[in-house]
Amino acid sequence: MVKEKQIDPSGILHLIKESLDSVITDHYESGPLPKGCIYYAVVERNSQHPEQIVIIEREACIRPYNHMGEIYQVGYPKLIFCYKVIKDKICGFYMAAVKDEIINKKSEVYYFPYANVYDNGSVCMGSFIHPPIKELSDLTYYPEAFYTIEHTHLMNARNQLVIDILKEVENKPFDSGLLVFDCTFEQFISRISGIRKKLKI
């Protein structure tokens, strides 16, 4: 036996709206992010494989620096390491120095003072190839590779002789007065991603 029930037309419209609202048409999820991650973005360029942009910060420190096979104990400024990832591969690696404790879109970004980083922030890793990434959290350890490679460029991004700077900073905390301004964090991201809109951070 079928029972008939009258439903207010506005009730039907409400049920249809609820049903449509629950349909997910698109979804992006980062998964676990690396320790020290301060920025994450997904960029699609008419491709089946979008770029993921991940920026990790590392605090100022004193570490060994390999310059042309000679090891110097030098101060490093606070650094940001930017990785562009497609699927499981690094397709771009950039870095710069910063001073702000907490990075925001207006934070000033400075040229890396030593070798192997070009004036657009891209990094020369020589023959080193980053291993494939299983998940983004693997990037936590990738900056270590830059600290440990042999740096082979004589000049830095500002065409300054690196050996002169190394002798000035050897065995000392880094003097942030040596940094040369490049752009804002917002402009740094725009240059790397090709996105010209304002950052929402």
Q: What is the pLDDT of residue 171?
A: 94
Q: Is residue 73 part of a domain?
A: yes
pLDDT reported for residue 89: 94
Predicted confidence (pLDDT) per residue in 60-81, tens digit: 999 999 999 999 999 999 999 9
- Give the range among 11-15, 66-70, 95-99, 100-104 with minimum mean pLDDT: 11-15
Check pLDDT > 60 for residue 51. Answer: yes
Work out the average pLDDT over 33-59: 89
Predicted TM-score (pTM) of the model is: 0.83
Is 57 among the domain residues?
A: yes
Share of the chain above pLDDT 90, in %: 72
**Which pLDDT score, from 0 to 100, does residue 53 have?**
93
Whole-number pLDDT of residue 6: 56
For residue 4, name the pLDDT band (cuts at 50, 70, 90). low
Question: Over 90: is that where the pLDDT of 3 sits?
Answer: no
| Average pLDDT over the chain, rounded to an integer | 87
| Whether pLDDT at 22 is above 80 | no
Inside any domain, residue 53? yes
How many domains does one find in the chain?
1
pLDDT for residue 145 is more than 60: yes
Structural domain range at position 64: 30-193
Q: What is the pLDDT of residues 175-192, one digit of tens each?
A: 999 999 999 999 999 999
Domain-located, residue 9: no
Tell me the DSSP string of the chain: -PPP----HHHHHHHHHHHHHT---------SPPTTEEEEEEE-SSSSS-EEEEEEEE--EEEEEEETTEEEEEEE-EEEEEEEEETTEEEEEEEEEE--SS--TT-EEE--SSSSB-TTSBB--TT--PPPPSSGGGGGGTHHHHHHSEE--SB-TTS-BHHHHHHHHBTS---GGG--EEEEHHHHHHHHH---SPP--
On whether residue 23 sits in a domain, the answer given is: no
The answer to whether position 21 is within a domain reads: no
pLDDT exceeds cutoff 80 at 195: no
Is there a domain that residue 72 lies in? yes
